[in-house]
Structure 1
Amino acid sequence: MPTIAPLIPYHRLGRTVAHRWWRPAAGTALVLAGTIVLILLGVGLASVAAALAGRPENADGMPSFGPLADLALDFLLIAALLPPIFAAARWVQRRPAGTLSSVTGRLRLPWLLTCLPVAAVAVAVLLGGGVALAAATGEDVGLGDDLAGWGPFLAGSLVLVAVVPLQAAAEEYLTRGWLLQAVGSLCRGPWVPIAVQAVVFAALHGWGTPWGFADLILFGVVAGWLTVRTGGLEAAIALHVMNNLISGVLSAAYGSLYVEETAADMPWQLAVIDVPVLLAYAAVIVLLARRRRVATSYAHPVAVPAPVVERPLVSLGRES
């Protein structure tokens, strides 16, 4: 009898043989507590180092190495989510932490590298179309503002390249990874987990404008659907990284890198353009996933009884 291998979708990878109803909640508590501890530790160490170096205080009244260092620290503090998330999967849910990455148990780097240029084109179209629509509707898009200069631009861009991938990946592992699978362990279908993580993702960015909040929910839904549809976080990480990196580099060029705004403050012009861009990105990614035969589910082998082997009868007497 052949071995039976049921196919397990990405959002159900948290429901292992060790699953209990309380494990998703306990794991979420570990993620929150662990992240808070790491953030406090990081802020404390950075403040002590700045104080020992005789640095002045920033706008928050903390010793600081400057606005660019504060920006880098903020992004790294978001990345502090990663260790608690992996620990929650491994220690609380008792499964390999790599199952947060994909159905193969690891982050599929070749597939991620395939998604990155597609995401870059999508973000470029979004920003270009949004700026054009804003200008056409009489909004001041700031293209006539003074440039920051090569020094600040290069310094800001280098910092962004170093920290944005970690920050964006951490947000994806939290929402499209941990939350999607935690809720998915309690729900058979994918749409409730997708909806829950999308709302949480939008809320974590603040309420902002109605347009911006709605667009964040749409981003979360599309990224969550792609995660389930392609069996991993790669497509979502690629889009998130390119969105933050390209928009951040553009802000660095105009010296507005330190403006305290999030995607929740997005104007309606960008939100309107973002809808078809997100849908087009999803369509292209699904097409590429089919052509490259990207694994979309995990084949979990189930033990079956060993076949019965008929042994030849042995005569108790001598052969003649």
Structure 2
Amino acid sequence: MSDPYGPPADAPDRPEPDPRLAGYPPPVWGPAPMLPYGWSPPARPPALPTEPQRYPQLLRGPRRRWWKPLLATALALALYLLASALTVVPPLIAGLVTGKPNLGRYLLNTLTDVDNLGPVGFIALNVSLIVLIPTTMLSIWIVYGVRPRFVTSVTGGFRWRWLLRCLVVVVPLWVGYVGLGVLTDPPEVDRPAHWVALLLIMVVLTPLQAAGEEYFFRGWILLNVGSWFARPVVGLVVGTVVSAVLFSAAHGSPDVWVLGSIACLAVASCLATWRTGGLEAGIAMHAVNNVFVFVVTIGIGGWQDAFVGSDTKGTPVEFLLALAVHGIALALIWWQAKRTGLTNRSVPADVPTQPAIWYPVAADNVTP
């Protein structure tokens, strides 16, 4: 019986063409080649965990190694130093356009004199923190193989509706918080000369600046520290402590009440990230706080004191007020997360089942 999928059984072998062979490859004459064997390595394990995990445990996948947080630290530092070169661009352009006689001194003063920060320096300051977003994503992607979108949340993307819900609950809280501060301690200095330009820059860049700090001080730190600990609670506690200490110290004030007030935001953001499975809630709190502070200091007065520095002093009342506001904000966010059934655990990654096998390789692909 002839093969229904092959040429007719009585078709001639050679050499004249036969119309019944149309559409079939021509026959190959000679002995069949010897087929050697090649090696097919086993499929690579996934980068994400194979079991549902909360955000701080997201890097504890099959590819986890104890030394990867150290490598990620070195890489993040290198990437940030490289990206920080962008902060020089705004003052450099402004200096060249306005024809500053001593361009080097102008660049140095613009980038370092926070007490007399103008529009150009404000742009540069924001850019220096915005670059933390690609720094965080790239360092984790390169070292761990985890896609950048998973740095934002366990679902692998930015949940815009959830961010909007967080803003709805925290904005009224910060209106009262900042408004109370203005009533009890009104600014003594008038608004800056370039207040319109500063307000426009603030609207565009300050939310991104706050997001940059959240991506690094919450996202990068929680993920890397959490990858070292098998117990989720230990990873969360240690990561939160590290985040709060580094975030407070980065602002430069040695005052204990200032450090404590800043740490309130760090702790609230870490707990919100853990509970909600992403950075959106922390970004909402951080951005709203910074925007309202800048609206007051730019539009009313006190711009020179808007940024925390080595001479910034606080009070126990300010610390207690910050503790209460961030605690209430955290409670509201947790309530909304429970009400909406927000996903806070990752989807288990698929485990490949392909074993290492030997397979035949075509002879013409083998190097003699």
Specify if TM > 0.5.
Answer: yes
Match of 1:127 in 2: 178
Contact 2:191–2:297 (CA under 8 A) maintained in structure 1: no
* Aligned with 2:220 (options 158, 164, 178): 178
What is the CA–CA distance in structure 2 between the aligned matches of 1:108 and 1:299, rounded to whole Å?
A: 16
Match of 2:201 in 1: 159
Contact 2:240–2:270 (CA under 8 A) maintained in structure 1: yes
Q: In the alignment, is residue 101 of structure 1 matched against residue 152 of structure 2?
A: yes
**Aligned CA distance change for structure 1 residues 152 and 255 (closer, same or farther; 3 Å):** farther
Match of 1:313 in 2: none
* Aligned with 2:81 (options 15, 36, 39): 36
Q: In the alignment, is residue 277 of structure 1 matched against residue 325 of structure 2?
A: yes
Contact 2:273–2:281 (CA under 8 A) maintained in structure 1: yes
The count of corresponding residues between Structure 1 and Structure 2 is 293
SS state at 1:298 partner: coil
Match of 2:303 in 1: 257
C-alpha RMSD of the superposition: 2.8
1:174 Cα deviation from its structure 2 partner: 0.2
Contact 1:26–1:92 (CA under 8 A) maintained in structure 2: yes
Match of 1:197 in 2: 243
Contact 1:130–1:269 (CA under 8 A) maintained in structure 2: no
* Aligned with 2:124 (options 70, 73, 84): 73
1:218 Cα deviation from its structure 2 partner: 2.2
**Aligned CA distance change for structure 1 residues 304 and 169 (closer, same or farther; 3 Å):** closer
1:275 Cα deviation from its structure 2 partner: 1.2
**Aligned CA distance change for structure 1 residues 58 and 71 (closer, same or farther; 3 Å):** farther
Q: Which amino acid aligns with 1:31?
A: A
Contact 1:16–1:95 (CA under 8 A) maintained in structure 2: no
Question: After superposition, what is the alpha-carbon deviation per residue over 1:40-98, rounded to whole angstroms, capped at 9, x for unaligned?
Answer: 3431x334423422036699642769811111111111111121211111111111111
The aligned runs of 1:1-320 (5 Å cut-off) are 6-43=51-88, 45-53=89-97, 54-55=99-100, 61-62=106-107, 67-132=118-183, 135=184, 141-143=185-187, 145=188, 147-148=190-191, 152-187=194-229, 188-189=231-232, 190-259=236-305, 261-262=307-308, 265-301=313-349, 303=351
**Aligned CA distance change for structure 1 residues 68 and 283 (closer, same or farther; 3 Å):** same
What is the CA–CA distance in structure 1 between the aligned matches of 2:102 and 2:163, rounded to whole Å?
A: 40
**Aligned CA distance change for structure 1 residues 260 and 33 (closer, same or farther; 3 Å):** farther
SS state at 1:262 partner: coil
Contact 2:52–2:348 (CA under 8 A) maintained in structure 1: yes
Match of 2:114 in 1: none
Question: After superposition, what is the alpha-carbon deviation per residue over 1:235-275, rounded to whole angstroms, capped at 9, x for unaligned?
Answer: 10000000000100110013433446318644433222111
Question: After superposition, what is the alpha-carbon deviation per residue over 1:224-243, rounded to whole angstroms, capped at 9, x for unaligned?
Answer: 01100111101100000000
What is the CA–CA distance in structure 2 between the aligned matches of 1:60 and 1:191, rounded to whole Å?
A: 44
Contact 2:257–2:314 (CA under 8 A) maintained in structure 1: yes
What is the CA–CA distance in structure 2 between the aligned matches of 1:166 and 1:57, rounded to whole Å?
A: 32
**Aligned CA distance change for structure 1 residues 247 and 230 (closer, same or farther; 3 Å):** same
Q: Which amino acid aligns with 1:92?
A: V
**Aligned CA distance change for structure 1 residues 32 and 77 (closer, same or farther; 3 Å):** same
Q: Which amino acid aligns with 1:170?
A: G
SS state at 1:297 partner: coil
Q: Which amino acid aligns with 1:52?
A: L
**Aligned CA distance change for structure 1 residues 99 and 61 (closer, same or farther; 3 Å):** same
Question: After superposition, what is the alpha-carbon deviation per residue over 1:194-250, rounded to whole angstroms, capped at 9, x for unaligned?
Answer: 111111111111234211101222221111011001111011000000000010011
* Structure 1 stretch displaced more, 81-90 or 118-127: 118-127
What is the CA–CA distance in structure 1 between the aligned matches of 2:306 and 2:264, rounded to whole Å?
A: 22
Q: Equivalent pairs: percent with the same residue?
A: 29
What is the CA–CA distance in structure 2 between the aligned matches of 1:146 and 1:301, rounded to whole Å?
A: 56
Q: Which amino acid aligns with 1:235?
A: A
Match of 2:25 in 1: none
**Aligned CA distance change for structure 1 residues 282 and 84 (closer, same or farther; 3 Å):** same
| Structure 2 unaligned blocks of 5 or more | 1-49, 112-116, 354-368
Match of 1:317 in 2: none
Contact 1:176–1:197 (CA under 8 A) maintained in structure 2: yes
Q: Which amino acid aligns with 2:170?
A: A
